[in-house]
Amino acid sequence: MNRFKASKFKNTTAKLSSRESWLSDLRVSSTHFAGSGVQASCAFIAFPADPVGVLGVLPLDWCGRKDGKVPLLYCHSDVVMDFNFSPFDDYVLATCSTDQTLKVWRLPEKLEDIRASPSLVLNQEGGGLQATCFHPLADLVLAAAAGRNTTVWDVQSALALAELNGHVDNVQSITWSHKGSLLATTCKDKMLRLFDPRAMQDAVQAVECHNNNKDCKVIWLDSCDLILSSSFNQVREREVKLWDNRKLTSSVHTHTVDCSQSCLMPFFDEDTGLLLLAAKGDYFIDCFEVTKTGAFLTQVCRCMTEEGTRGLGLLPKRAVDVMACEVMRALQLIGSAIVPISYVVPRKNVYEFHSDLFPDTLGATPATQAQDWWQNHDGQVQLVSMDPLQHGLQRHTSPVLVPEGRSHVEQHIDTKVPEPALDRTSLKEAVQELTGGGNGINAESKKTKFGAMASCHLLGPTSKFRHLQGTVLHRSSHISNLCGLNLNHAGRM
């Protein structure tokens, strides 16, 4: 911190919300996951729930007791390892799992209408997926890591733009730079690598970041021209290292925390330069201010929590309460609740907007599209004012919706199976037969509602139960504690 200029964030304090503001009585999954555990957009909050492969999704403005009545998104057949909201479309969610699938979902405005069919399913080779990250500038560009493979996807076209090489072990963490030109990865081989996916598939820089092959996290601190990595040293102490992203020869700063089993998860706010460090199982969350020179990391405050942390996430900057001088809001996931934690800068006048605390921040309009970005047409996301009197609710809609009148299953069949060669007369007769002769139904409605299904049914017999889904009931409805069961002979009890 500059010795001649006091920081305006040095007095930032963390305020735990009252229990009335908690999102409580949640069925949080007890299964291990690789991600941070909580993700939020300006519309929703998502967290891993029971059973395995399910996410709980809540509106951002919900609070209080839920009594287990939480909208559930049945995502995968195995553990959901990581998930992220789009930085532009608050209703687009990407999930990845150890079932080797990457899925992109469009959430409905009314969560009661939530569906179990994603807008897009991508299969990535290399094993179970561990991490995923949206591009900060280009709409619907997504990076995902599976085993030793890291792939950059164009979600809109369902195409793999680049497959990055050089990892000799499992990739543990991935993150895009703020400018969107570089991708940083950490690997179990102790290496930190920087990739330029549009220029080459091999790493442009690489360095051994920590002397331990346990879990390692990485994020960009673009406002300070730094990269932060978090892992363990040789004596199993948790440590954080800062790297100059222009030259990865050696770290510019190392901060040792303590001895513990869980890796520190870093969260950085570009507008304020504040850094949060939290770990699963810890009862505290540290807040630091990051500077380019001097001490690099200066501790601002430590928040003592009531329960151990299961996960943590940051609310988007556009969703904080600026009139309460709230510069950050963290969402702590605990055993059965989500606890909002506000980071507030104390000011005497709380009836005015403090522009020195809230500079213009990134808006919801992407700078470019996926194919334009791939052709080296970079841009810059438009900044918006945080003053409530100068900006309204912004909403961008990304083009990942299934076309109207076609289900996800029908679209998948149409794209994979060639349409049979039928003339107009035979196709018309087939559609009329499927729709009961067409009495009382105009031609436009038949074309919209039954046109896609006609080509599917003509390919072979289908079942009316093809969309049947099974749901495991809650444990309270299970028949348990059965005695005298004979497990040696089938059919005997």
Q: What is the DSSP letter of 409?
A: H
Distances in whole angstroms, Cα of residue 289 to Cα of each of 1, 104, 394: 8, 35, 29
Q: Would the pLDDT of 492 be above 70? A: no
Where do the domains of the chain lie, and which CATH numbers do they carry?
A: 13-362 (2.130.10.10), 408-457 (no CATH)
Whether the pLDDT of residue 241 is over 90: the answer is yes
Instruction: Please report which confidence band the pLDDT of residue 350 belongs to, taking 50, 70 and 90 as the band edges.
Output: confident
pTM of the model: 0.78
Q: What percent of the chain has pLDDT over 90?
A: 57
Question: Residue 68's pLDDT band (boundaries 50, 70, 90)?
Answer: low
**In the chain, % of residues over pLDDT 70:** 82
Q: How far lies 442's CA from each of 405, 422, 449, 450, in Å? A: 16, 22, 11, 12
* CB atoms near residue 187 (< 10 Å): 23
> Which position has the higher pLDDT, 401 or 258?
258
Distance (Å, whole) CA 478 – CA 411: 38
Q: What was the pLDDT predicted at 485?
A: 66
Query: To the nearest whole number, what is the mean pLDDT of the chain?
Result: 83
- Which residue did the predictor score with more confidence, 2 or 193? 193
| Predicted local distance difference test score (pLDDT) of residue 430 | 46
Question: Comparing 17-26, 59-68, 312-321, which segment has the lowest mean pLDDT?
Answer: 59-68
Rounded alpha-carbon distances, angstroms, from residue 156 to 68, 88, 376: 35, 14, 18
pLDDT of residue 337: 93
Q: Sorting pLDDT into bands at 50, 70 and 90, what band is 445? A: very low
| Distant-in-sequence, close-in-space partners of 271: CB < 8 Å, separation ≥ 6 | 223, 317, 327, 358, 359, 361
Specify the pLDDT at position 54. Answer: 93
